[in-house]
Amino acid sequence: MSSTSTNKPSALSRVKGPLLSAALAAMLAVAGTTGAQAQTHGGTLRAIVQPEPPLLMLGLNQQIPTQYVAGKIYESLLTWSPDLKPQPGLARAWHVSEDGKTYTFDLQQGVTWHDGKPFSADDVVFSIDKFLRAVHPRARVIINQFVESVTALAPDKVEIKLKSPFAPFLKSFVSDNMPIVPKHLYDGTDYLNNPNNQKPIGTGPFMFKSWSKGSVIELVRNPNYWQKGKPYLDGIVFSVIPDSASRAVAFERGDVDVLRSGDVDNVDIKRLKALPNVDYTTNGWEMFSQQAYVQMNQRKPPFDNVKVRQAVMYALNRKFIVDNIFFGLGKVSTGPISSKTPFYSADVTQYPYDIKKARALIKESGVDVSKTPVKILAYPYGAAWDRLGEYTRQALQQIGFNVDMEAADAGTWSKRVSDFDFDLTFSFTSQYGDPALGVSRLFLTRNIVKGSAFVNNVGYQNAEADALWDKGATATSDADRKQAYDQVQKILVDQVANGYLFEIENPSLYRAKVHNLVTTAIGLNDTFADVYIDK
Amino acid sequence: MKTLSYFASRLSKAIIVVLGVVILNFLLIRMAPGDPASVMAGEAGASDPAYVEQLRREFGLDKPVYVQLGIYLKGITHLDLGFSYRERVPVLNLILDRLPATLLLMGCAFLFSVALGMLAGVIAARARYEGRRRWLDSTIMSGALLIYATPQFWLALLAVIFFSLTLGWLPPFGMETVASTLTGWARVGDIATHLVLPTISLGCFFMAIYARLTRASMLEVLGMDFIKTARAKGVPVQQIIRRHALRNALLPVITLAGIQLGQMAGGAVLTETVFGWPGIGRLMFDALTARDYQLLLGVFLVTSTMVVVFNLITDLIYRFVDPRIQGS
């Protein structure tokens, strides 16, 4: 996205917001008269939260379950449509300057915090400039690197100046990345130990009611929500059910209405999908577009040899992996950028399953892989990943490798990968709707830093690629960005900087009586302001 | 007085044991790779190392391990079990929140297994002793063997599928109906129905052992001379079983009860996981995977204290049931 093109949607959105809602209202009115179901007020949505989040203060904790629950309590300036266009959130309009360095946001009026205090531009300034900069593990990286100043121009107008253009900057304004937190409760306090962390106060359509640790989190309708008439639900309850088989039973019995991706094992999805009055979607993950990949440590043999890495790509039958290990919930990927993310390019070297070619490449590489034993470090995120490890072991043995498996729990995995103490392991990461936000971090040479997982842990170094990533992030025209990303994808795929496996598809299951569950690119993490249940 | 000094000496030993457990656990946990800061950073999806360092400093993990241990032990002396890094609440609050649920489940499972197990054992022993309904004896014993040999989680899952999914009689998860507004007896009843399945699955294994143990020790006692004398005197079988045999066969059962209580205190993790029971076992598991050191140590402290207390009680009951046992 460039400044000129960001201008377009932003200028448009001033008009588009009200227009769109008017059109929607008209459509609903028509639907109402034709006898179709209209939104009904009332009802409680029953969902599952797993694992139980440690904390619901979204600024301080960004675990996936925290995003799911606290995403109803806190809001950000924007939300995103499934085709990754910005939509109004706490900002009703926004504008990007020609040089891509000044962003102005017009805020919604009449917004109050859950404790009744009015929301204003000061809250936005405090959140971005002080709070998130200090405590948010992801946002602080962007803010510290790019943001020069955040100023309140008026009670409903905020201006953010950047040090240098950063094309995907708007995409960081989603609730899990830049939640807006109340200044009057946090400014000048010890953020981490503020008592309000236990009773989160946001601007969202649902308010925190109670949390019995280990069993249930309850949210209730915010009667003063700034979108008049919303939300439709009286409340949402999130049950804590630690065992996945028990979660499947709870859904089957009708004790819960919604299963989020990961709530049940993929093996159960097919059966639950077939239940009467159950709907199914894989939408609502466009912003995340998770990619699964093999990480091969390039610091030592045998994976320091590019031909060996290419051989691994030919030896893995990725179609088989998707169909049989992940129950068809995925799509084989061609490179580091997901096909659902802008600037994806399919014009790269393909690695079809070809054992002969893999063996030939090993021979060419001159590495005696039987003499350099390799250990597969288990990726501790469920049974499918264990199977993937076992399959990979077999595939590598077929081309002559001497392979062992190592078990790990989440703490061990994260420690060892952060310390570069592994040969081969797996991972998946979210792309956050733009290569500069979710992809480049895995490949930049300057991101080879000990002590953090989900960065460049394999030790890939390429100055040319680095320059292209930087060009892609700071260029202000889409054409320039595309050119940079097209080139970088070619290079990374040729060199197998990572072993790109597949784009993860995340299924959501829900009772057919529940509507509008997934409407945006962040799906179930969104506010649920529009969700309603048939009476 | 003698009992009192016996109790005092046992208590002082118990305190040393608990202290040893805490120190040992403290060191063992530190040997596992990964710390809370790295786990939290991992869960957040990404972060710069400066952030991880900032967390470590805040948690006090930058200090040497022996200093951390000293701080922790000092805290314990005035019941300060530390602060959970993740949940940002004092550890003691978290544990006290969860402890009642575990105690309730344990208590029910304990009563269920002792009562039913002993009853089954006595019936089997009597059937065998009288020599008439031998089939009853073998049925009970085969049943016990089957339960004994079945893994606990498997039994739990089967119970859920049958009673909850197929028949729809009992709720499959939680301690009470989600977001219910029940109070008083209605709430007690609600909790009771939620208790049934976890109680059975937690108690069945020990029930089987009680049955076998009671039967064996009853038969042993029933073979003794004083029983023959009693029978010769014409004491009714009913009375022989209850007064003469059962009372003497009780000691091994009490020993086992002590062991069971100790084991359940730490071993409820599986049951609590399958049934979503908001107890301390589950808390311990979560704390372990998140490397929440303070919380994990707190749970260990509480559970080991429980085991020690149960042992103390068992010893006292021994002396009460059989005055011949001395505290020397």
Each residue's pLDDT tens digit, A180-189: 999 999 999 9
Burial of residue A404 (CB within 10 Å: 0-12, 13-18, 19+) is exposed
Query: CB–CB of A138 and B46 under 8 A?
Result: yes
Q: Considering only the beta carbons, identify the residue of A51, A198, A415 that sits closest to B286.
A: A51
- Confirm or reject contact between B62 and chain A (CB < 8 A): no
Q: What is the pTM of this model?
A: 0.87
All residues at 6 or more sequence positions from A259 whose CB lies less than 8 Å from its CB, including other chains: A48, A247, A251, A272, A508, A509, A510
Q: Which residue of A has its CA nearest to B274?
A: A243
Chain B environment of A250 (Cβ under 8 Å)? 172-173
Q: Considering only the beta carbons, identify the residue of A252, A430, A451 that sits closest to B49.
A: A451
Q: State the amino acid at position A108 in one-letter form.
A: Q
Angstroms from A154 CA to nearest CA on chain B: 33
pLDDT tier, A10 (very low <50, low <70, confident <90, very high otherwise): very low
Pairwise CA distance, residues A26 & A32, whole Å: 10
Query: CB–CB of A415 and B33 under 8 A?
Result: yes
Mean pLDDT for the stretch of residues B176-185? 80
Pairwise CA distance, residues A499 & A392, whole Å: 12
Pairwise CA distance, residues A462 & B228, whole Å: 92
| Cα angle, residue A253 at apex, residues B182 and A531 outer, rounded to 5° | 80
For chain B positions 66-125, those within 8 Å of chain A (CB to CB) are: 84, 86-89, 94, 97-98, 101
**Is the backbone of residue A400 left (phi > 0), alpha (psi -120 to 50) or beta?**
left
Q: Considering only the beta carbons, identify the residue of A197, A237, A245 that sits closest to B178.
A: A237
The answer to whether the CB of A463 falls within 8 A of the CB of A298 is no
Q: What pLDDT is recorded for position B183?
A: 81
Q: What pLDDT is recorded for position B310?
A: 86
Q: What is the pLDDT of residues A404-416, one digit of tens each?
A: 999 988 888 888 9
Angstroms from A134 CA to nearest CA on chain B: 9
- Cα A348 from chain centroid (whole Å): 25
Mutation target to probe the A interface, by most A beta carbons within 10 A, among B29, B35, B47, B94 is B47
Q: What pLDDT is recorded for position A453?
A: 78
Query: CB–CB of A255 and B278 under 8 A?
Result: no
Angstroms from B229 CA to nearest CA on chain A: 57
| Cα angle, residue A437 at apex, residues A435 and A442 outer, rounded to 5° | 75
Angstroms from B304 CA to nearest CA on chain A: 22
Phi, psi of A157 (to 5 degrees): -145, 125
Query: CB–CB of B165 and A453 under 8 A?
Result: no
DSSP E strand boundaries for A297-416: 330-332, 374-377, 403-406
Q: Identify the H or E element spanning A270.
A: helix A266-273
**Which range scores top for mean pLDDT: A134-138, A488-492, B19-23, B94-98?**
A488-492
Query: CB–CB of B48 and A452 under 8 A?
Result: yes
Query: CB–CB of B178 and A46 under 8 A?
Result: yes
Q: Which residue of A has its CA nearest to B84?
A: A54
Angstroms from B209 CA to nearest CA on chain A: 27
Q: What is the pLDDT of residues B251-297, one digit of tens each?
A: 888 888 888 888 887 668 888 888 989 999 889 888 888 888 899 99
Q: What is the pLDDT of residues A308-344, one digit of tens each?
A: 999 999 999 999 999 999 999 999 999 999 999 999 9
Angstroms from A234 CA to nearest CA on chain B: 12
- Weakest-pLDDT range from A138-152, A190-204, B229-243: B229-243
Listed residue (A322, A308, A317) closest to A392, CA to CA: A317
Angstroms from A83 CA to nearest CA on chain B: 23
Q: Considering only the beta carbons, identify the residue of B45, B94, B289 that sits closest to A409.
A: B289
Query: CB–CB of A243 and B86 under 8 A?
Result: no
| Mean pLDDT across chain A | 90
* SS3 (DSSP) at B183: coil
pLDDT tier, B325 (very low <50, low <70, confident <90, very high otherwise): low
Pairwise CA distance, residues A81 & A87, whole Å: 6
Mutation target to probe the B interface, by most B beta carbons within 10 A, among A190, A212, A268, A413 is A212
Q: What pLDDT is recorded for position A488?
A: 97
For chain B positions 238-277, those within 8 Å of chain A (CB to CB) are: 272-277
All residues at 6 or more sequence positions from A207 whose CB lies less than 8 Å from its CB, including other chains: A73, A114, A219, A220, A221, A222
ipTM of this complex prediction, to 2 decimal places: 0.85
